């Protein structure tokens, strides 16, 4: 008989896991609390680990059809002076599609493999014996129940999994802006000045993706609509971008989530519900994809679900903890350094960023090959 899965949350991690399980023969139902499936239209970094996941589930072509292929991620000071450069290769890729394109591709593949998607379907609890409780009083039994309901997960709490949730000190603003002739086509530039950041991302032929961050206590930098005069003054090298800042922006508090455990009985916790992290490395979604792929493949090797879930965490948590810690450390280096220390930080970053330990630590998650994905080189 086909094994069954009930997944709460049709975000990126929920869709990837639902699609991979269905691809492997599971009967999957995916619950989304909202009345329709939609995704805010910012861009998203998809590293090699994420790209191989998309290849494995058949979503790569549609998800990346309009994406920019990135040659360099550069950190610069407010005047454009280079502090760090991280280059890509054909086997160590970074693509930057619109988030909505990725989402639509994942929905299409989930439907292709027969995932049953139910909207306006709010899950409120899960039990270790494999039952998903809904707000309307219904209850669904399954071999596997998955909490993919985001950083503020109710299902995670229903199995007492939360260890801590740290709101940190930063907030972020995301927006898409119209692309202009002369904008870099294959280079991400992250400008630093004191505790503020301006991140430029080439995204499609017609639009670029902008991410701004500052401490939550920085009222002027967190203001919506965006205070163009502030960002233009703070980042003169990016003034031409600030002039095109869009009114249609989104403000988010950046959070970290850590679980006591990722599973209990037949219930697994994935994605931001398990390991939300600030987008400092652009690896949050990629890490979720790695863990979704690993979960599906572990369940292929081990038929007993509670045993498989315990093994899945044992084999994969160290990598996730590593990526989350580096993301947190990265944010600390930015958010805790005042303007007067810019020079010290610049010299430190220039001195260590080219070292092998730094590069290995920074890129460990991005370069990981997910379980069940292609292991051969594209250039072999």
Answer positive or negative: Cα dihedral of 307, 371, 261, 109. Answer: negative
User: Tokens 């309009």 — which residue?
Assistant: 66
pLDDT computed for residue 222 by the predictor: 86
The closest alpha carbon to 16, from 69, 68, 52, belongs to: 52
State the DSSP string of 257-276: EEES-SEETTEEE-THHHH-
Cα angle for residues 334, 340, 345 (degrees, 5° grid): 45
- Say what the pLDDT of residue 260 is: 98
- Whether residue 335 is predicted with pLDDT greater than 80 in this model: the reply is no
- Asked if 141 and 130 count as a contact pair (C-beta separation under 8 A), the reply is yes
Average pLDDT, the chain: 94
| CA distance to 19, 35, 225, 324, per residue, from 117 (Å) | 11, 11, 35, 30
| Burial class for 69, CB neighbours closer than 10 Å (0-12, 13-18, 19+) | middle
Average pLDDT over residues 288-317: 98
Are 271 and 12 in contact by the 8 Å Cβ rule? The answer is: yes
Tell me the pairing of strands 162-166 and 256-259. antiparallel
On the 0-12 / 13-18 / 19+ scale of CB atoms within 10 A, 94 is buried
pLDDT at residue 380, rounded to an integer: 57
Contact between 300 and 24 (Cβ < 8 Å): yes
Tell me the C-alpha distance between 296 and 24, whole Å: 8
pLDDT the model gives residue 379: 65
Output the DSSP codes for 299-353: HHH-SSHHHHHHHHHHHHHHHHHHHHHHHHHHHHHHHT--GGGHHHHHHHHHHHT
Q: What is the mean pLDDT of residues 215-234?
A: 92
Q: What angle do CA 97, 100, 104 make, to 5 degrees?
A: 105
**pLDDT for the residue 111:** 98
Confidence label for 11 from pLDDT (cuts 50, 70 and 90): very high
Structure tokens that stand for 244 in this block: 């095109």
Percent of the chain with pLDDT over 90: 85
Spatial distance between the Cα atoms of 220 and 73, rounded to a whole number of angstroms? 27
Both tokens assigned to 349? 């970053």
DSSP count for the chain of H helices, then E strands: 12, 21
Q: What are the structural domains, with CATH classification, of the chain? A: 4-66+98-167+256-363 (3.50.50.60), 170-253 (3.30.9.10)
Least-confidence region, from 26-35, 92-101, 131-140, 169-178 = 169-178
Total Cβ atoms within 10 A of residue 25 = 10
User: What is the number of residues in the chain?
Assistant: 380
Average pLDDT of the segment spanning 294-313:
98
% of residues, the chain, pLDDT over 70: 99
Q: Higher-confidence residue: 131 or 249? A: 131
pTM over 0.75, yes/no: yes
**For residue range 112-139, what is the model confidence (pLDDT) as tens digits?**
999 999 999 999 999 999 999 999 999 9
Burial of 126: CB neighbours in 10 Å, binned 0-12, 13-18, 19+: buried
């Amino acid at each position: 008989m086909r094994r069954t899965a009930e997944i709460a949350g049709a975000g990126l991690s929920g869709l990837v896991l639902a699609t991979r399980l269905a691809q492997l023969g599971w009967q999957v139902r995916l619950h989304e609390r909202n009345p329709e499936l939609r995704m805010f239209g910012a861009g998203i970094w998809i590293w090699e680990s994420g790209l191989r996941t998309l290849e494995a589930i058949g979503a790569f072509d549609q998800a990346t059809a309009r994406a920019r292929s990135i040659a360099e991620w550069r950190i610069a000071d407010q005047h454009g002076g280079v502090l760090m450069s991280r280059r890509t290769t054909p086997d160590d890729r970074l693509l930057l599609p619109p988030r909505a394109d990725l989402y639509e591709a994942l929905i299409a593949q989930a439907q292709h493999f027969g995932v049953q998607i139910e909207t306006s379907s709010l899950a409120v609890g899960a039990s270790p014996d494999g039952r998903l409780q809904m707000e309307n009083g219904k209850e669904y039994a399954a071999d596997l129940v998955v909490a993919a309901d985001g950083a503020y997960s109710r299902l995670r709490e229903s199995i007492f999994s939360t260890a801590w949730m740290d709101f940190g000190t930063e907030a972020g603003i995301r927006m898409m802006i119209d692309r202009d002739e002369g904008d870099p086509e294959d280079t991400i530039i992250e400008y630093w000045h004191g505790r503020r950041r301006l991140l430029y991302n080439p995204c499609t032929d017609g639009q670029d993706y902008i991410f701004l961050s500052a401490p939550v206590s920085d009222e002027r930098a967190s203001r919506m609509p965006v205070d163009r005069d502030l960002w233009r003054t703070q980042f003169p090298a990016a003034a031409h971008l600030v002039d095109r800042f869009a009114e249609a922006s989104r403000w988010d508090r950046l959070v970290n989530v850590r679980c006591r455990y990722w599973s209990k009985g037949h219930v697994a916790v994935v994605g931001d519900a398990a390991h939300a992290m600030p987008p400092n490395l652009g690896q949050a979604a990629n890490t979720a994809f790695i863990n979704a792929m690993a979960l599906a493949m572990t369940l292929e090797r081990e038929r007993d679900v509670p045993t498989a879930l315990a093994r899945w965490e044992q084999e994969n948590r160290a990598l996730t903890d590593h990526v989350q810690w580096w993301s947190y450390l990265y944010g600390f280096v930015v958010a805790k350094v005042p303007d007067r220390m810019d020079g010290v930080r610049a010299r430190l970053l220039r001195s260590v960023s080219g070292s092998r330990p730094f590069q290995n630590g920074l890129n460990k998650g991005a370069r990981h090959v997910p379980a069940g994905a292609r292991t051969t080189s594209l250039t072999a």
